[in-house]
Amino acid sequence: MSVPDNSQVQVGWICALEVEYTAACLSLDDELGSPKSKSSNDPNTYTIGRIGSIFVVVAVLPEGEYGTNAAALVASHLVNSFPNVKFGLMVGIGGGAPSRKNDIRLGDVVVSIPGAVSGGVIQYDLGKDIQGEEFLQTGHLNASPIALRTTVTALKSQYSREGHNIQESIASRLAKVRPRTRRTLARPAEETDRLVKSNIPHKEDGDGTCSACAGQEAQAYVQRRRRSPEEDDDDDPAIHYGTIASGNRLIKNGIFRDKLANAQGILCFEMEAAGLMNHFPCIVIRGICDYADSHKSKEWQGYAAMTAAAYAQNILLKIAVPDLESLQSAKQVIESVSERVEQLLDHTLESKSTLARLSTDALDREVLSWLKAPDVSQNMNDAYSRRSHGTGDWLLTHPRFQSWLADSKSLTWLRGISGSGKTVLASTVVYHLQQNNTNVIYHFFSFVDAQKQSLAGMLRGLTAQLFRKFTEARAALHDLWSHCKASEPSIEQLQDVLAVMLSRVGRIAIIIDAVDECAEVTSSLVVLRKILHDDTIDTPIFTSSQGRAEIDWTISQTWAQPHSILNLDRSTVDKDIRAYVTQTIEEDTDFVRRWGNNVTAQTRILDALSNGANGV
């Protein structure tokens, strides 16, 4: 039979190694030779053959090149030179991942089929197969074409009913080759199939021999029953169907192998399929030549390549020709995907932006949860709700307040006795600044809430407000969170991150109410003084408190000028009290009904209530 035209070839068979290529060629019913032509710039070497009525082209990766990228390059050239190829077979050897559920042995065959969470092949992250480290799956890959999967199902059913003839097929093929090749591809002795326990690494003695590999340590091996096709109706080799893990690095780690196999249902590891699955419709078939551990050897490679090739041959003999004819060519599939990718590019970019934002939002929520900042907004809102119209206006128009607002390095200390309205005034300042679009953060100390009594609570609260308001400040807290992980940040770390965040947001006012209710009064004042004196920070600070000795001394003697202190004297407080009492009684319907027309009585009642308040 002569070599067919390239347009008549319908299946591409890709191998990575010379031994796999030899096994593939031996599995052809007729080896017909090289193609008559190739597309320009195609460096691949091809062998065309026939299996049943189907023309197949076999390609092999360049000598010394491995991995997903090399396989993808070979496939891309193949579909250009053979435009009617419908699908591919990625056939060769792999490292098995045996488990209690999957009794995988050397020489067995693993076939990629989709599972609940993958398309039959998953790609794992490169460079993290060191024992003791996590391994990351980086993505799922496309499933093989449905016509191939239905053929796998039909062949699986046939094997279940009748068994397979893989060993007989291999024997007949090997009978035709020279003895040296036969020895390379024949099945090794059964006793060389040893599964070493995953926690026992390869270790060579003085003469370069590993006793576990050499069969000298019975306790090192996983005990498995002997397969018996005659007595127990075992398939030998057995065919396994499921997920194959693919990546660019050779896996020689039994502990990692078991971890990923258990987590992802992996049956074997290999190095090429991930380069094909999303670009070239294909199925992956692997003969097991080792157990992906440090005891890896090449003894079973030839036979494993032959079992995989024999299964691939059975697939092509089983597939229905009409099903094959009805398939789009791989080239058409790839071009169709490219068109859809171009159409979706704008949507993808938009989605990427949205996903990035959602990812950032999730991270921010985690950081804020870790920070455990007290929510003082309720304290501020409650205090402001108690304010009567006109109360506190004197403060907002006071020359000291106006000067404080204009000066970036300014302190105003509102000092008054307990109950004199300091918290309402502090809330008035916050509300006034917010209404005038002045950046402001605040903390209201409270002796009734332990979280709001501490210096740490103040630092956490101010930091959280900055984090929520200013995206440019978030990186500093992200860094602290990454550094601390699950542990609590120290007071010093909270001070430092607050200072860094303040330095990145420009001018912003800080309002601190009821410093006297802080459990660490002096320390909190020292922190505020450091912020005020930091040349990188543009922050006026407004505080309120009672005039206790330690507060008076710390503020008056170390960092406040006399003009920075606003004392709530009796006359000032009485004006606000009178305004409050006036509004209260005017809104009282019983009072209005009884005294509404008696101005003299109203004045006497107002004087009595205001004077009775005694400044509080």
Give Cβ neighbours of residue 39 (< 8 Å, ≥ 6 apart). Answer: 77, 80, 81
How far CA 528 is from CA of 107, 130, 197, 564, in Å, comes to: 73, 49, 62, 15
Name the least confident of 298-302, 352-356, 605-609.
352-356
User: For 471-520, where are the alpha helices, taking DSSP H only?
Assistant: 474-484, 491-503
The mean pLDDT value of the chain amounts to 83
Give Cβ neighbours of residue 139 (< 8 Å, ≥ 6 apart). Answer: 122, 123
* Residue 373 in this model has a pLDDT that exceeds 80: yes
Higher pLDDT, 383 or 549: 383
Provide mean pLDDT across the span 289-299: 87
* Residue 218 in this model has a pLDDT that exceeds 70: no
Of the candidates 585, 441, 563, the residue with the CA atom closest to the CA atom of residue 513 = 441
Instruction: Report the DSSP beta bridge partners of residue 90.
Output: 14, 284
Amino acid letter, 582:
T
Residue 128 pLDDT level (bands cut at 50, 70, 90): very low
- Please give the Cα distance from 497 to 478 (Å, whole number): 10
* Residue 342 in this model has a pLDDT that exceeds 70: no
Beta strands in 277-350 (DSSP E): 282-290
* Residue 316 in this model has a pLDDT that exceeds 60: yes
Longest Cα–Cα distance in the chain:
128
pLDDT value for 573: 54
Task: State which CATH number among 3.90.1150.10, 3.30.980.10, 3.40.50.1580, 3.90.1010.10 fits the domain covering 6-217+233-331.
Answer: 3.40.50.1580
Most confident of 19-28, 318-327, 390-399: 19-28
pLDDT value for 597: 59
- Please give the Cα distance from 413 to 418 (Å, whole number): 15
How far CA 265 is from CA of 63, 261, 345, 387, in Å, comes to: 32, 5, 33, 66
* Residue 370 in this model has a pLDDT that exceeds 80: yes
Provide the token pair at 440. Answer: 């402001």
Amino acid letter, 135:
F
Provide the token pair at 214. Answer: 């050499």
H or E element at residue 412: strand 411-415
Provide mean pLDDT across the span 405-429: 87
Residue 341 pLDDT level (bands cut at 50, 70, 90): very low
pLDDT value for 212: 58
Higher pLDDT, 293 or 249: 293
* Residue 404 in this model has a pLDDT that exceeds 50: yes
- Please give the Cα distance from 185 to 444 (Å, whole number): 81
Residue 596 pLDDT level (bands cut at 50, 70, 90): low
Name the least confident of 7-16, 296-305, 565-574.
565-574
pLDDT value for 359: 60
Provide mean pLDDT across the span 37-41: 91
Give Cβ neighbours of residue 22 (< 8 Å, ≥ 6 apart). Answer: 181, 185, 305
pLDDT value for 345: 47
pLDDT value for 31: 96
pLDDT value for 210: 64
Rg of the chain in Å (alpha carbons): 40
- β-strands 137-140, 121-124 pairing: antiparallel
- Please give the Cα distance from 178 to 166 (Å, whole number): 20
- β-strands 440-444, 509-513 pairing: parallel
Provide mean pLDDT across the span 198-220: 65
Higher pLDDT, 64 or 306: 306
How far CA 258 is from CA of 113, 137, 293, 304, in Å, comes to: 20, 15, 10, 21
Q: Quick: pLDDT tens for 506-564.
A: 999 999 999 999 989 889 988 998 998 899 999 999 999 988 888 888 777 666 677 78
Indicate the DSSP class of residue 3.
Answer: P
pLDDT value for 273: 77
At which residue do the structure tokens 């004392």 appear?
A: 567
Instruction: Report the DSSP beta bridge partners of residue 442.
Output: 511
pLDDT value for 278: 64
Contact 376, 508 (CB under 8 A): no
User: What 3-state class would DSSP assign to 33?
Assistant: strand
In CATH, the architecture of 374-568 is 3-Layer(aba) Sandwich (3.40)
pLDDT value for 588: 58
Provide the token pair at 506. Answer: 């420009």
Provide mean pLDDT across the span 70-78: 87
Higher pLDDT, 165 or 70: 165
Name the least confident of 45-54, 501-510, 596-605.
596-605
Q: Quick: pLDDT tens for 139-197.
A: 455 667 888 899 999 999 999 999 999 999 999 999 999 999 999 999 999 989 988 88
* Residue 66 in this model has a pLDDT that exceeds 60: yes
Phi-psi region at 191: left, alpha or beta (left = phi > 0; alpha = psi -120 to 50): alpha
Please state the domain extents for the chain.
Answer: 6-217+233-331, 374-568, 577-613
Higher pLDDT, 499 or 327: 499
* Residue 207 in this model has a pLDDT that exceeds 70: no
Q: Do domains 6-217+233-331 and 374-568 have the same CATH topology?
A: yes
How far CA 514 is from CA of 267, 386, 444, 465, in Å, comes to: 66, 17, 6, 19
Residue 485 pLDDT level (bands cut at 50, 70, 90): confident
Of the candidates 566, 573, 517, the residue with the CA atom closest to the CA atom of residue 412 = 566
Contact 181, 101 (CB under 8 A): no
Higher pLDDT, 475 or 297: 475
Residue 353 pLDDT level (bands cut at 50, 70, 90): low
Name the least confident of 94-98, 179-183, 228-232.
228-232
Provide mean pLDDT across the span 588-610: 60
